[in-house]
Amino acid sequence: MSSSYYSIDISGFSFAPSALTVQVGDTVTWTNLDSAGHTVTFNGSPSLSSGGLQEGDTHSVTFDSVGTYTYLCSPHSYMQGTITVTE
C-alpha cells in the first residue's frame, strides 16, 4: 500500500482546502503563504500541532490512526480545518 501526500495552503487567513479526507499513512503538509504568522493547532493532539509558522514555513503530519482531526490557527481561531482519516 502506497502513501499519498497532500498540501494545504495557509493563505488569505484561511486553510485551503479547509476539509480533506486522507487514508491512514498519508502525509499532509501545510505551507504558510501569508506574511502573518500562523499555527496548525490540533484539538487535544499537541504532538500533531505546529509551532509558529512564518511566511514560507511548512508543517507536515503523517496520520497513523483513523479518525476526524480538527485544527485551527491559535492566533486566528476563526481559521479552522478538518482532516478525516479513513482506512
Question: What is the domain partition of the chain in residue ranges?
Answer: 5-86
Q: What is the pLDDT of residue 1?
A: 61
Mean pLDDT of the chain: 97
Average pLDDT over residues 49-62: 98
What is the distance between the terminal CA atoms of the chain, rounded to a whole angstrom?
A: 11
Of residues 45 and 8, more confidently modeled = 8
Q: What are phi and psi of 86, to 5 degrees?
A: -115, 170
CATH class of this structure's domain 5-86: mainly beta
pLDDT tens sequence across 3-25: 999 999 999 999 999 999 999 99
Give dist(CA 76, CA 80) in Å, integer: 9
pTM score, whole prediction = 0.96
Q: What is the pLDDT of residue 2?
A: 80
